[in-house]
Amino acid sequence: MSITIPPPTAKKIPKTLEKHGDKRVDDYFWLNDRQNKEVIDYLNSENQYYEEMTAHTKGLKNLLFEEMKGRIKEDDSSVPYFFNGYWYITRFETGKDYPIYARKKGSLTAKEEILFDCNEMAKGHSYFQLGGVSISPDNKYASFGVDIIGRRIYTIQVKNLQTGKLFEDKIENTTGSSTWANDNKTLFYTQQDKQTLRSDKVFKHKLGGRQEQDVLVYDEVDDTFNVSVSKEKSKKYIVISSSSTLTTEFRTLLADDPDGKFKVFQPRVRGMEYSIAHYGDSFYILTNKDDATNFKLMKTPEKATSMENWKDLIPHREDVLLEDIEIFKDYLVLGERSNGLNKIRIMPWNGKGEYYLPFDSETYTANISTNPDFDTQILRYSYQSLGTPSSVIDFNMKTKEKEIKKEQQVLGGKFDKKNYVEERVWATAEDGTKIPISMIYRKGMKKDGKNPLLLYAYGSYGATMDPYFSSTRLSLLDRGFIYAIAHIRGGEDMGRLWYENGKLLHKKNTFTDFIDCSKFVIKEKYTSAEHLYAEGGSAGGLLMGAVVNMAPELYHGVIAQVPFVDVVTTMLDDTIPLTTGEYDEWGNPNEKEYYDYMKSYSPYDNVKAQNYPNMYVSTGLHDSQVQYWEPAKWVAKLRTLKTDTNLLFLDTNMDAGHGGASGRFEALKELAKEFSFLLDLEGIEN
């Protein structure tokens, strides 16, 4: 369509930013003030521009929303899990946006007890999130956190489950999670720095007391670390975790002795990561100690936890990433990754007959699920693929029998997994590395270069983008789209080195991998530059910003969700959330080597006079992870420099944060905007 409405223009107020003798001029620095009426007016004008420019797709958006909603079982519920004498269930009711948390004592036929009805709790709030529900050992109380802004700042309260009444206790400015000691009256919780939102302190709260009376039990003074507090599955220990990108440290306290002192498990050693699990008279340690890049499993007596006492149990393997462990009374379960695929390994403690669960597909995801019960032979795990709806499976580790407890229902009567083809292909990066791509499309697809293809990736923090099923994605597949995930470096898809080779001074591998995957799907005629679309969010939005600067000609359209695009300025500002904890991921730009490298790829700093693809950029005014002004500044700068007449939209949710809208159906409306953007570019009207 031809552009007839002039886009908004943000005024320029040049601000010179200087570091290491290098001067950068930021014309839009002033947008960094959500209290400024002019800033809000600008964001609203961009929203209005988006609405006016896409008015012709309103019917398509509504159609997509109803279509996606129509595939979702509205009166749905989770598979119940058993914990401490109760079955716990999360369920939804028809027409309602939020979950209901419930439990049943002893048996699934027992009377339901509603713990929290989030639909009632959310009334009067444009955003609502419940988090960190924790039940006291005697089952009488539930602590929980509530966020009504979207900045992930929670207030913790406690509910008396016998009377239904709330205690007067209100604990502000927390992460939302809390952990009960075994006395049923002591709560440990993490508090956040009010400005940076770094979780830096662990407090002890006595039920019925005031927050100002709470006792500080741990203060993490290193601003590159975050803290959390939890309880071991064995229920014997309360554990404080301190973690940075590269280093971890734990402290333990007997849960029967809440007024005792936490003991350091093993003092932090820079570059050494470890996690702990208690069983019997020992701790099991998942760690990269001794250059175990892909991690190994070690064991130590619970009375002697420093690393000179650790002994190898599962040695390091060059070709297998050890991701996860789950401990049961009679079994040790390992979550592994080999050749980019999940494996689940069952090991009886008696040493007799270990084995792997069998999986057939080449684009599947299988993960150890919720297993709070210690004394059981049942392992619960989840399984899905790009074309197979998610299943929750109970597996008897003794008899090897499995029971599918639930397979995600896709309503509407049109979905049949036999109508789709799943494929894993390998692109070759510019340095010769083979990059896997998982994809799905309708049967009968022809490799003629005419298929629209949406290529998604993330590529940071060692986060693995496993192939997963999405009922909403069917709205693209059934209209002829190919959907693909590029498993680029910076994630951990192919092992730990995959991550190491896509961060810090190797970060550009992430971007060039994506570009090479894009070239591959074009060369193999899955699609062409006229029909290739790219999508990424948060750090994946940084990826989008980098590739449109580096290779804009490859893409017809790009979706950048809450994109982290002003890398240098943000990483130099240690007053905003995440910055200091990110130095091990991106580098510390206070050091010139990292400053120069970061500046060479930072999307905002590298916008230039050239053609850019059609772009849809979304953000949230209250985002605590990527501040709204990053995409706002980026779009403003793109508007002044781009040399094309392609679409450029900035869509700001004025009520939400990093995760977007809070209700499950409100989130579908945001997805309908993205899909309609793609379909409109393809000339697909319904």
* Residues classed as catalytic: 538, 623, 658
What does the block give as tokens for 489? Answer: 């470096």
Contact (CB, 8 A) for 605 and 568: yes
Longest dimension (CA), the chain: 74
Starting at the edge strand that comes first in sequence, how are the strands of the sheet with 296-301 ordered?
274-279, 282-287, 296-301, 311-314
Distances (CA, A) of 565 to 111, 571, 608, 637: 52, 11, 14, 12
> Among 164, 161, 152, 197, which Cα is nearest to 180's?
161
What does the block give as tokens for 405? Answer: 């407890």
Contact (CB, 8 A) for 295 and 316: yes
Helix 664-681 to helix 58-70 angle (10° resolution) is 130
> Among 652, 667, 624, 626, which Cα is nearest to 176's?
624
In what helix (H) or strand (E) does residue 679 lie, and over which residues does it extend? helix 664-681
Collapsing DSSP to helix, strand or coil, 419 comes out as helix
- Tell me the C-alpha distance between 452 and 582, whole Å: 36
Collapsing DSSP to helix, strand or coil, 69 comes out as helix
Query: Other CB atoms closer than 10 Å to residue 503's CB: what's the count?
Result: 21
> Among 635, 677, 672, 670, which Cα is nearest to 656's?
670
Distances (CA, A) of 684 to 12, 405, 439, 675: 38, 39, 22, 11
What does the block give as tokens for 660? Answer: 């977007």
- Tell me the C-alpha distance between 367 and 333, whole Å: 11
Query: Other CB atoms closer than 10 Å to residue 652's CB: what's the count?
Result: 23
